[in-house]
A and B are shown apart, each in its own frame.
Chain A
């Protein structure tokens, strides 16, 4: 299994540009989440999904969209990039309520810089 994969690893955008961060998992996990990590603030939840076709907002959803058309993929879209979105983005997945132990599996992260 590849686990959780994220692309790209690094990205530089100009203010106003849009882009999609890709996330995929091959473990048949139902739950997937997007986090951003900023210095001194810890990880913060952007959006999450409890299954294909179901998404919900987290703590900091503004400026981001997500969709979950398949169990495997959970892309994060930046609609109009702003310097405040400069951050490291992590995608994570875990099983479901049916499992008694839901270890979180994280992708390697995407370092995004918005100029």
Chain B
């Protein structure tokens, strides 16, 4: 069993839909990172969470430390949101992270 599990593995949505990607972890952590990997392969950091909720534009990330669970929400999804979304659990420094396998999101126009 992976220490960090994401669901779903694949997700197809229509433009405008509300998207939720889930991440559960079994390791002890001080932070949970959400990353986005573009179709070209580049990886960018979206959020780092230690508690509560963060919002950036149409993206919202939440974490429940007691339940060891985090969610990434995308409101009013757009085809440009199509990418692989990856959660990673570990330290706030980001130096030792355990990654989920990623969720492939496709948003159709």
Contact = CB atoms under 8 A, between A and B. Distances in A.
Interface of A: 31, 33, 35, 40-45, 48, 50, 58-59, 88, 90, 92, 94-97, 100-106, 108-109
Contacts of A35: 99
B96 A102 contact: no
Interface residues of B, number: 24
Interface of B: 2, 4, 31, 33, 35, 41-45, 48, 86, 88, 92-102
B26 to A, nearest CB: 15
Contacts of B93: 31, 50, 94-97, 102
Contacts, number: 69
Contacts of A97: 92-93
Q: Closest 8 interchain pairs by CB? A: A94-B94, A106-B43, A43-B99, A42-B99, A42-B101, A31-B95, A103-B45, A104-B94
Choose among A31, A50, A92, A94 the residue with the greatest number of B CB atoms under 10 Å from its CB. A94
B41 A41 contact: no
Contacts of A109: 41-43
B27 to A, nearest CB: 12
B48 A103 contact: yes
B94 A41 contact: no
Contacts of B44: 106
